[in-house]
Amino acid sequence: MHTEHVLLIIDPSEEDRRTIRSILDSRVDRVLEAADASAAWEAVRGLDHITMMVANLDAATGSDIFDLRDHLHGEMGEFPCVYCSLEDMTAFYPRVLDREQLFFKPVNRGVLIDWFDSVTRPVANEENEALAGASATGAAEPIGSAVPDISTEPASVSPTESLPLQESAPIPLPEEALPVGTRLGDYKLLREIQRDADFALYEAEQTSIGRHVALKTLYRKHRKDINWVQGFVNEASARASVNHPAISLVYECDQEMGVNFYTLELVDAPSLSDLARRRAELDDTVLWKVLSAASSALIYLRDHGMSHRLFTAQSILIVKGAEPRIANPVRGRGLPLSPEEERRQMELLADAILPFLKKAGTDPALFSLVDRMGTDRIDAVNSIESLRKALNPPDPKEGLSNAELAKINEKETNRTALVVGSLIGIFIVAAAVVTFLLMGRTPEVRALEFFIKIPAGKFPFQNGEEVELPEFWIGRYEVTISEYAEFLADLSAHPEKAKGLRHPDQPAEKTSYEPEKWSQLYATAMKGGTFFGGKIDPNCPVVGVDFWDANAYATWRGGRLPTEQEWEKAARGGSGNLYPWGNDLIDGNFNSGLDHESKEGVEAGSIDGFKYWCPVDAIAADESRYGVIGLAGNVSEWTATWDVHPDVPDKRVPLKRGASFATTAGFELTARRAAESPGERNYWTGFRIASDKEAPVSLSSDTAEAAPASDNPAPATDTPATVPDAPAPATDSPEPPQTGEPTAAPGSAETPKE
């Protein structure tokens, strides 16, 4: 018998390994740690036994952990194992053995210690061996059943006679979670699925019929509290009354040895969350079924007065045959969802569907519907009823009388005449338009200053790190030339404001906020002319601005520059897409450098419609899940975040995010672009602003005149430094990213040519 207790901990997280070690360190003689199965195999070489293994499980490495366990069992004999995870572990159930336990992270200290003691206590093991050797009928029962007390008779009793058995009182059950193996009436607990401070959920077997079920228990510590018991029974009763084909069933509610419990249908199927994590693909027909089932279930629960949890990607399961099934969400009888809860439910459904949508190849109607769910758009789908109507649009002829139907038929018969008349009208309008264009006109300055709310919560930053941000607002569009002109006009009228706009690190010699070649840029834009070979108008993004310019404008406008984390959340959404529209690059969805210059097989501007910059609202497809436009392309954008320059480790510079009309590679929204310096100015960089409140208050004076709509805009506060007549030549890579991140192809200059 081994006297040295050896604990093997396998987890890629050093912090999680440290937690397990702190819990069990006093109970073992030796602790071995490894980040993965391969390292664990090296760590145990030469050992003849292991007391217990505690291992992390996830979709990527779970199979390796079980393969290692099987190999070690063959080498050393069986030993108990504990598996911990932040994910759903249903997929691993077939490989979990009877003496093994599953825990969700963070692992409960007391529960892990109790379980360790129960499987490693020598006395208990010796008693079990003695019981097993004494009599086949005296085998130890699982905790929670009566344990036979085997007593001996005097020596005169013949060894062939049966030994008398005396049944003792049942072993007391714990006040909280029950050990695996406990029997509750007709049910045997097979493994723990999850637990909290008051309830635990298990997979159990209904032994009389061999059916596996989910079994939820109320902890025994509440058994004498009528409020807890009645509330638990009410929940079970309400769930059992649900009769909807898309919602999982509740079988029965019972009480055994002070434990109140009820059983539910155990659906052996992956959730949408599981499938998204595996990058599985689902047909549009399946996604339509999910929305239809969710809509039908929500209407059913509302109409039957059921209070329930919101449906999430984790609670929507896809069973064989691609049929959706919703884990029973009912809490009890109660009020329906509030309008805000309905809006949040639509957002959660959209988030569940979004990972499976592709802009190319997805049913346009499905894409449009999901795009409108849980948003602030005018045509948003933010309620159960609006989702029902979107899925089942009413027949315009339904409920009409025969006379009304006859009128509709008559109109349809005359459609040809109407079409002919319409064509004539179109020719007249076209002639008027041609005449108007020949006469020339000044470009319209559109009101494009809108702020989009980005809700508080976690999102996957960069390569998957979960980052939590508070609620903030961000500009729907990049700051335009006309908006920046108002800023310069206000500073010209009120030069005293300039001092309050300075960044703490702004150099003393930086006194003007006029962009590069501003007079020429502004005058050309107001005419709708050509600037350095590219069409430009006042609704195009302001360019030629450095970091100090962008920061000053944002401060003047009552906001600030977004941090790179805020920018990335606004761009990628909660699902962490690589592009605003999804995870597949679609060349025509944003203004990029793929058609910046003519080359073999590609004419300049032939892919996205623009050779250089474009109006900030020109490409609607470049829209994030939150409704923010232009994050993928057009111009790169200054952020408030500074970091080490990738090529000069002792130099800190501000970061830019997003590709531009001159970027030819590295289009992923995770790409980080370091400026050469905060004073860098070029014609492919602009910015947008962020705010901590919905309606930031500008510092502009009520008496300040608007920017002049003329060829000569108002100058800035101070005379700007002399600038060259043409932009300086660009380097091979004006926006070097950090190591490991995508960048533009070598030699692909982003400077527009005159």
Tens of pLDDT, residues 508-536 = 999 999 998 999 999 999 999 998 888 99
- Phi–psi pair at 656, nearest 5 degrees: -115, 150
Task: Judge contact between 205 and 190, C-beta under 8 A.
Answer: yes
Q: How many CB atoms within 10 Å of residue 669?
A: 22
Q: What percent of the chain lies above the pLDDT cut of 90?
A: 43
Q: Which burial class, exposed, middle or buried, applies to 73 when counting CB atoms under 10 A from its CB (0-12, 13-18, 19+)?
A: middle
The CATH code belonging to domain 451-691 is: 3.90.1580.10
Neighbour count for residue 201 (Cβ, 10 Å): 16
Looking at domain 282-391, which CATH architecture does it have?
Answer: Orthogonal Bundle (1.10)
Q: Judge whether residue 98 has pLDDT over 60.
A: yes
What is the pLDDT at residue 424?
Answer: 62
Q: How many Cα atoms sit within 13 Å of 500 on the Cβ side?
A: 12
pLDDT at 730: 35
Q: Assess if CATH 3.30.200.20 describes domain 183-265.
A: yes
Residue 584 has pLDDT above 80, yes or no: yes
Q: Which pLDDT band, with edges at 50, 70 and 90, does 251 fall under?
A: confident
The per-residue pLDDT for 198 is 92
> pLDDT over 70 for what percent of the chain?
79
Tally of CB atoms within 10 A around 119: 19
Domain boundaries, the chain: 6-134, 183-265, 282-391, 451-691
Helices 339-353 and 364-372: crossing angle in degrees, nearest 10, is 140
User: What is the model's pLDDT at position 348?
Assistant: 93
**Comparison of pLDDT for 173 and 426, the residue scoring more:** 173
At residue 122, φ and ψ (nearest 5 deg) are -60, -40
| Structure confidence at residue 435 as a pLDDT band (50, 70, 90) | low
Which pLDDT band holds residue 604 (cuts at 50, 70, 90)? confident
DSSP-assigned beta bridge partners for residue 674: 655
Helical H segments across 444-558, by residue range: 481-493, 518-527, 547-556
Q: Tell me: pLDDT of 309 over 70.
A: yes
Q: What is the pTM of this model?
A: 0.41
Whether residue 740 is predicted with pLDDT greater than 80 in this model: the reply is no
Report the pLDDT value the prediction gives residue 713, as an integer from 0 to 100: 42
Predicted local confidence at residue 101, as pLDDT: 83
From CA 355, how far away is CA 467, in angstroms rounded? 19
CATH classification for the domain delimited by 6-134, as one of 3.40.1710.10, 3.40.50.2300, 3.40.50.720, 1.20.1250.40: 3.40.50.2300
Asked if 595 and 443 touch (Cβ cutoff 8 Å), the reply is no
* C-alpha distances out from residue 148 to 126, 139, 388, Å: 16, 8, 60
Q: What's the pLDDT tens digit per position in 20-40?
A: 999 998 899 999 999 999 999
Nearest to 563 by CA among 708, 571, 752, 42: 571
Q: What is the pLDDT of residue 269?
A: 82
Question: Sorting pLDDT into bands at 50, 70 and 90, what band is 414?
Answer: low
- Per residue in 676-692, pLDDT (tens digit) is 999 999 999 999 999 99
Query: Tokens 């510092």 label which residue?
Result: 699
Average pLDDT, the chain: 80
Tell whether the model's pLDDT for residue 739 goes beyond 50.
Answer: no
CB 204 within 8 A of CB 217: no
